[in-house]
Structure 1
Amino acid sequence: MAETLASVRNAARLLKEFSREDRELGVSELARRLGQGTSTTHRLLATLTQERLLERGQARGTYRLGIALHDLGSAVASHLDLHEAAMPAMAALRHTTGETVQLAVLDGLDSVYVERLESPYTVRIFARAGTRLPAPTTSTGKVLLAALPPEELDARLRDWRPKRWTPRSIVDPEALRAHLREVAARGWADNREESRVGVTSVGAPVRAGDGDVIAALSVAAPTGRAPAATLRRIRGSVTEAAAVISRRLGHRVP
């Protein structure tokens, strides 16, 4: 029994050596990394290839991850709903930033917050899950609008009746379109007191396995706790956490 478990463990270790940087690896290199003989490594490679977990690489004598692993990954992703995929990353993000973390989806021209983890600070941003805010005024909403096909965005904006929630709210359709093009190009959005005076947020897209943006993750904080340097750090943390959620949903960067 111990020998069988050791074999499974060695096979798992071998598979984990493959990555985006090391797409194809040979027998000698894998044996060196695993600290085992080439004959043992070769037998593992032969077995995993027969099970379609590996396949021959383009370079002679190399191997790469096989189609069966893709199928398994897709099966895992299909069983993970947005809540399950997002909550661990959201909890880690709140711990890292100390601020309120939110997950939103788009409904018409509203950003609807479906998950929310409140900041541990005394001064908080109060809004419960299920809250709706005009998408053009929020970082999550901008991310979601920026991901729409142009014709769909145009159709939604035809019904837009902008309201100036704060002096910083965008109320001109062309100015909003230009701003959304910037958001799409850089991959994140901010809200600098556009929905509520004294509140700043940064949002990033969450993608499904097919690459479509299905949600947006954001960190919101009182503006006084979010100077420029802090916002830059938060932006990096938000985009990284959104990418983690996307990977759990099956998204892979080409």
Structure 2
Amino acid sequence: MLPAQPNQSLIDGLEVLLGAVDAAEPVGVRELARRLGLETTRTQRLLGTLAHLGLLHRTDNGRYGPGTGLHVLAAAATAANGLLAKALPELDRLQRATKMTVALGSLWRDRVVYLAVFAKDRDPLTAVGASRSYPIQRSSIGVLLLGWQEPGYAAAHGIAPALETQGASARRRGWSLIDQPTEQTRSLAVPIGDPPRLAIGLSGSFSDARIADLRDQATAVAARLASQDIP
């Protein structure tokens, strides 16, 4: 829930931080400002402050990428809440049992951030940070979690009304399913907790006959994780 007097500078700073670290390579000031819809001067000040704090690193050619301080912050957060320590073994077992790609994700604005991705023939040690953020409309996790957002969330983040309707339907059903015809794959997602901040997604090539079984296996894992008070 948005506080009565939100700090816009803090909000913009976090947007700039995520925008810089989510880029495929170090990003320039003007490019990031254009991408986020912020003033160039403001973006430059925020990037400079974040670099001063060590959360971002400024390259020799004036571009910005993740800094050492960001890794420290991420490690401290991971240790404090125990999320990945509890979730990773469960997700690994789910991938082995279903033979699907298994992901743990959360919704941020209009994109899905994957905390971990387990895939066939991929070393489980590389699961964390294996994927960049993903457009909400192409993610079963994103559509599902959208269903639990406050009224006005979709409009505030440029999300199509049709997708908001799809999210509401997924919430009522308790899970979501998205087909990707061009990739000949589909993905299924189930929530963790109520209200959920995280969801488990399964993706791959599977028939309608497998949906119920995949959903039930993922739901069982989600229930175990929810019972451990994962934030």
Match in the other structure for 1:231: 211
- Aligned partners of 1:138 and 1:181: how far apart in 2? 15
| Kept in 2: contact 1:98–1:120 (CA 8 A) | no
Are the equivalent residues in 1 in contact too, given 2:145–2:198 (CA < 8 A)? yes
Deviations 1:234-254 (A, max 9, x none): 111112211211112269xxx
Structure 1, residues 105-124: CA drift from partner, whole Å, max 9, x if none? 11210111110111249xxx
What is the CA distance between 1:80 and its match in structure 2? 4.3
Q: CA separation in 2, counterparts of 1:120 and 1:231?
A: 23
Residue identity opposite 1:230 in structure 2: R
In 2, Cα distance between equivalents of 1:182 and 1:81: 32
Runs in 1 of length 4+ with deviation above 6 angstroms?
Answer: none
The structural deviation recorded for 1:79 is: 5.6
Does residue 205 of structure 1 match 2:191? yes
Residues 38-49 of structure 1: pairs in structure 2 closer than 5 A? none
Report the Cα offset of residue 212 of structure 1: 3.1
The residue that corresponds to 1:174 in the other structure is: 161
Identity of aligned residues (%): 22
Q: Aligned in 2, Cα 1:85/1:153: closer, same or farther, shift over 3 Å?
A: farther
Deviation per CA, 1:86-117, whole angstroms, max 9, x where unpaired? 11221221122011110111121011111011
Match of 1:189 among 176, 186, 189: 176
RMSD: 2.6
Q: Distance in 2 between matches of 1:85 and 1:79?
A: 12
Tell me which of the two structures has the higher relative contact order, counting C-alpha pairs closer than 8 angstroms and 6 or more residues apart.
1
After TM superposition, the score normalised by the length of structure 1 is: 0.53
In structure 2, distance between residues paired with 1:86 and 1:153: 28
Structure 2-normalised TM-score?
0.58
Instruction: Specify the alignment match of 1:3 in structure 2.
Output: none
1:1-254 superposed matches below 5 A: 80-120=81-121, 129-156=130-157, 159-160=158-159, 173-193=160-180, 197-207=183-193, 211-221=194-204, 223=205, 226-249=206-229
Q: Tell which structure's C-alpha radius of gyration is larger.
A: 1
Secondary structure of the corresponding residue to residue 201 of structure 1: strand
Structure 1 residues not aligned, in runs of 5+:
1-77, 122-127, 161-172
Query: What 5-or-longer segments of structure 2 have no aligned partner?
Result: 1-78, 123-128
Q: 1:115 to 1:250 in 2, by over 3 A?
A: closer
- 2:135 maps to amino acid: P
Name the count of aligned residue pairs. 149
